[in-house]
Amino acid sequence: MPPRFALQGWVVGVGGEALRDATVTVGDHVLSTGDDGVFDFGAVEVAPIEIARPAYHSVVLEWDGTEQLLKVSLDPIVSKAIRAAAPVVQDDDRFQDLLDLAAATAVDALVFDTKKEGGGVLYDTAVEEAHDIGAASALYDPRQRIAQAHEAGLYTITRIVSFEDPIRVAARPEYKLAGAWIDMTNPETWEYPLALGVEACELGFDEIQFDYVRFPTGRTSVQSAQSHPTDADERIAIIAAFLTEARDRLHPMGCAVAADVFAIVFSAPNDQGIGQRPEDLSGIVDVLSPMIYPSHYSDGWLGYSDPNDYPGEVTAGALDDGVPRVGRGTLVRPWLQAFSWTDAEILESIAAAERRGLGWMLWHSGGNYDATALPGITEDSSD
């Protein structure tokens, strides 16, 4: 019988933070790390050690049994993404153009939609509720597009609009919060977006990004407060609980979990009435993505008469306010606008993110991007 050796250790991120849910494989033996990042196999036969964790690059270590206490550091996946909008993914030629654009630039990831604003599900899902309420279509085949993206070496993210859903509100009035918003205070309503997230992981997406994972704003928020009054602690706890459930389902499947948040919550001390605060969501999700769209900012924000005229400064200001509030173990990857700006202005916003060691995602509703608005393959836009 081959000799067996004790093997234990812990898995950490680049800042030394413990990484939970890392899968450690030695031969036929598999363990997952807990909150402390620790693994302990007892005694196992010599074999390469494979360590994988959602949102991080996997490693394989050669092991001969002599070192029996290991500390393994994993590097995060820092993605530079563009959104593959619905008009693009349903058109073979336009999707190939997007892949070609990625190959010619620093882009290394694509963001798809599987459930969009308005409640539509864009593929022939197996989640029954989508068909029951009339939300499902067959706009594109996600397996085909994921395979093409992976063959091109791209990381794949899908966006699932969670609690803004007029189709579901109309079909399930008992689930209505206010306006077109689903009542996320009722955990029964979580199952639909969670089931779509699980299916997206099964389809092959690397990361599941939950958007509209918040309470409503504006007039709808007033209606919500009247019908379902909540305080800040309750709102934050509800959003955190939903995302914790998403993580607990998706991490064992190998998928990273992300959440889109309003950029203002990176700068404001409170939850802005929507249940989002960086301190409370970090440590739960793998990626937090503030939507930094200066064209949406009020005149005078950060002291600028028109914030849209200051892409680099406004992007930098939002990140400098919020990144220190995000705990270790959660990455920040902002959404940046790729509309109403010149190519040079888009590059200014990208550079502000990259100077802070961050990835980015570009939003354009029609999926139109120009190579001159993107860093080159060997170019560092932070210079």
What pLDDT score was predicted for residue 260? 98
Alpha helices per DSSP H over the chain: 86-89, 92-104, 128-132, 142-151, 166-171, 191-203, 218-227, 232-250, 264-267, 278-281, 311-322, 343-354
Distance between CA 330 and CA 262 in Å, rounded?
16
* Confidence band for 226, pLDDT divided at 50, 70 and 90: confident
Specify if 306 maps to a domain: yes
The confidence score (pLDDT) of residue 371 equals 96
pLDDT tier, 300 (very low <50, low <70, confident <90, very high otherwise): confident
Domain residues for the domain of 52 are 4-73
Separation in Å, CA 151 to CA 104, 144, 296:
15, 11, 36
Q: What is the mean pLDDT of the chain?
A: 95
Residue 363 falls within a domain, yes or no? Answer: yes
* Final residue of a structural domain among 73, 99, 129: 73
> In this structure, which amino acid lies at residue 150?
H
Pair 281, 329: CB distance under 8 Å: no
Residues 196-217 pLDDT 10s = 999 999 999 999 999 999 999 9
Instruction: Flag whether 380 is in a domain.
Output: no
Local structure of 373: helix, strand or coil:
helix
The predicted pLDDT at position 236 comes to 97
Is residue 378, in this structure, part of any structural domain at all? no
Q: Is residue 381 part of a domain?
A: no
Residue 332 scores a pLDDT above 60: yes
pLDDT at position 297, please? 86
Q: Please say which residue of 42, 73, 104 terminates a domain.
A: 73
Residues 101 and 40 occupy one common structural domain: no
Q: What is the CATH number of the domain that holds 64?
A: 2.60.40.1120
Pair (89, 65) in one structural domain: no
Residue 379 lies in a domain: no
In total, how many domains does the chain have?
A: 2
Predicted confidence band at 362 (pLDDT cuts at 50, 70, 90)?
very high
- Which of the listed residues 25, 49, 73 is the one where a domain comes to its end? 73
Is the pLDDT at 32 greater than 70? The verdict is: yes
Q: Classify residue 53 by burial, with Cβ atoms within 10 Å: 0-12, 13-18, 19+.
A: buried
Instruction: Kindly state whether residues 56 and 134 are assigned to the same domain.
Output: no
